[in-house]
Structure 1
Amino acid sequence: MNGPTVGVEEEFLLLDPRTGENVPAAPSVAGKLPEELRGQSRREFRHSMVEMVTPVCGSLGEVAESLRRMRQAAAEAAAAAGASLVALGATPVGEPRLLVTDDPRYEAIAGHYGPIVGDPAVCGCHVHVGVPDRETAIEVCNHLRPWLPVVQAMTVNSPFFGGVDTGHASWRAMQLDRWPSLGPTPYFASAADLDRTVRLLVDAGVMLDETLVLWHARPSLRYPTVEVRVADVCPSVADTVLLTALVRALVGTALDDIRAGRRALPVPDPVLKAAHWNAAHSGLSGKLLDPSRERARPAWELVDELFRTVTPALDRHGDLDTAYDLLACLRTVGTGTDRLRRELERTGDLPATLADAARRTVTG
């Protein structure tokens, strides 16, 4: 193992194969998973969602193999339950039966936040990377802030809502913007600074408890890891592997900067929020706001700059060749949103487009 350990969480929608509507089949799907994979499945907020979690991995090869096994098994379990497993960031048509998982915590969240909880299901991909300790995790999150809008733009995969194209590359991001404790990670001086802020937010009722810190990057409450949770669920295993490689390399680069005494750039929160909105709206089509230089630049120019910045870490981790090839593929085929829009233009039929997305969820 040449780099920090990684783990990946992927959330998937369960859709009606005919209509594209959400299907509340998660309990049935969980019961139909192979016994050896049931421990890698998590109960999600919605009955129309399935979450699968890799073990702690040391290499991209381990990540890819685990993702393939989990997606294949979850897709077969979904089919047996009469649904399609689809890697899509937001509900594309609708959720006729809005069921919240029977769990005291979820019920408390539903009671506290009211109609926001009525928004249909959204699905993300979360990458966890090992760091030495919690104080270091805070510093790493500070260093990640300017780059996460670029990561978000690369992983947009949810243009549809209500059966139509919203005009946004990530409707998931737009929908989640209604939650008060979700968004760009604030800049913190220390773990004590973060803890003080969280206590204030809990006291004010913005968060029910410290587990509802849902920022785009956050230190784990239980483990010495940083969790990056800005991405829509990726359309294929290859896309998730690229995301994992880049996030691990960004964390590795941040650790290099910390050891060298280089401080993170304190990007103003409004600038960072604008950069994330821009990324969710446009993806890699056109320009993105560069929060470091505070000006708009061609999206792929920023992607290339990110790749150059993390190349030493990718090389050190043994991930450079894989990441280079997968980035070239992304440049050719586009983001998940680009692919969905092309397929819808080709077929003129949203259910057919979603069926293609279900196939690609497993086959890539």
Structure 2
Amino acid sequence: MRTVGVEEELLLVDPETGEPRAMSAAILARAAQEPGEEDVFEKELHDQMLEFATHPQADMEKLHAEIVRCRKEAARHAGGIGCAVAALATSPLPASPAVGVSRRYQWMAEQYGAVVQEQLVLGCHVHVAVDSDEEGVAVVDRVRPWLPVLTALSANSPFYQGKDSGYSSYRSRVWQRWPSAGPTELFGSAETYHRRVSDMVATGTLLDEKMVYFDVRLSEQYPTVEFRVADVCLHSGTAVLLATLARALVETAVRQWRAGEEPADPSVSLLRLAAWRAARSGLTEELLHPATMRRMPAETVVRALLDHVEEALAGTGDLERVREGCAELLRDGNGARVQRELLERTGSLRDVVTECVRRTQG
């Protein structure tokens, strides 16, 4: 059974006002003083962000338990300095992002200007183990049409700089401003993939391979395929649902590759439209169906994803759990819908943040 690891980026906020706070350095210093915590949490581009990474897990219940534990530990360390953490993919309240002082982040700030200042956005990255780069590229080529569905399921960023953006996942729209971000054409082989990455870095536009921000890519650090299209999820259970679906997509793609099935080849132009539609609509309206690239109800498209990976989910014993998780999201709403309902009920973005702080640990 393939192992899965999750990276989550959390927003640091003032527990009273809900405004973002640039406190990541102090939190990391506290965590580093405790055995076993020094490698869990990491600094991100902006000082109002804190990232953690789980260990690779084959058992999804263990993965869920680790995500919950890491969230609680992040909240404990933040609380020790009068701060709080929220699993929000954008700040609902206005923010003035503070770029980290590392040489890398300062290079990015100088190179990309206003784009860096806009990137106080927080994602959930899922790593799924693969046996080789060839297998990994076969996955990258075959999961492309399904990635917007993951964005729709995870959408958790309706507000940006104090206003309703009109999107369910505005984070994904902001993220697309990086020059290397977005969907890719078919690669066909690991050799072609690595040559493309090398050519991109050689332009001097990117600092290194880490800045190749494909929607799904080979990890340059681990033997994994990394899914990068999801918002950080308000509820930990949604993050586990995404990880389970990502593993099933990988397993399904590998089986197709081994059987000699060619990948579907929708154009990058259509994939960009599908990603935009998922960011705009989330689960409340229509999405582009991966097989036809035509608009259909979100429930129909989610059902198509479940049908596509059914055999893989059944093989790992995750089918019923995933069906129930998707049904719950479609019924009760993703993070974007929850945030909008909170604002409608309370009339206050501050109260939205306060409740999301509570739910982050719940």
Q: CA deviation at 1:121?
A: 1.1
Paired residue for 1:266?
265
| CA offset digits 1:190-235 (Å, max 9, x no partner) | 1221222223222333322222111110011233210001000011
Q: Offset of 1:42 from its aligned partner?
A: 1.2
Q: State the shift of 1:117 in Å.
A: 1.1
In structure 2, the partner of 1:15 is 13
Q: Which runs of 5+ in 1 are unaligned?
A: none
Give the alignment's Cα RMSD to 1 decimal: 1.4
Letter in 2 for 1:75: A
* Structure 2 counterpart SS, 1:8: strand
The 5 Å alignment of 1:66-77 reads: 66-77=66-77
How does 1:165-314 map onto structure 2 within 5 Å? 165-314=164-313
Residue type of the partner of 2:273? A
Q: 1:65 to 1:361 in 2, by over 3 A?
A: same
Distance change >3 Å, CA 143–CA 159, structure 1 → 2: same
8 A contact 1:289–1:296 mirrored in 2: yes
Aligned residue type for 1:89: A
Aligned mates of 1:99, 1:312 — CA distance in 2: 46
Contact 1:16 1:23 in 2 (8 A): yes
5+ residue gaps, structure 2: none
- Separation in 2, partners of 1:6, 1:340: 28
Shift of residue 172 of structure 1?
0.6
CA-CA distance at 1:84 after TM superposition: 1.7
Q: What SS class does the counterpart of residue 93 from structure 1 fall into?
A: coil
How much has 1:329 moved relative to structure 2?
A: 1.8
How many residues were matched structurally? Answer: 360
CA offset at residue 37 of structure 1? 2.4
Partner of 1:332: 331
Deviation at 1:60, TM superposition (A): 0.1
Asked whether the 8 Å contact 2:93–2:350 carries over to 1, the reply is no
TM-score by length of 1: 0.96
Determine whether 1:82 maps to 2:107.
Answer: no
Tell me the TM-score normalized by structure 2.
0.96
Contact in 2 for aligned 1:181/1:206 (Cα 8 Å): no
Give the partner amino acid of 1:90: T
- How far residue 291 of structure 1 moved from its aligned partner, in angstroms, is 4.1
CA distance in 1, matches of 2:351, 2:86: 12
Percent identity of equivalent pairs = 39
Q: For the Cα contact (< 8 Å) 1:94–1:120, is it kept in 2?
A: no
Provide, for residues 108-164 of structure 1, a one-character-per-residue CA deviation record: whole Å limited to 9, x for no partner: 222221221111411000000001100110110111001001111111000001212
Task: Between 250-259 and 75-84, report the one with greater CA deviation.
Answer: 75-84
Q: Measure, in 1, the Cα distance between the counterparts of 2:154 and 2:69.
A: 22
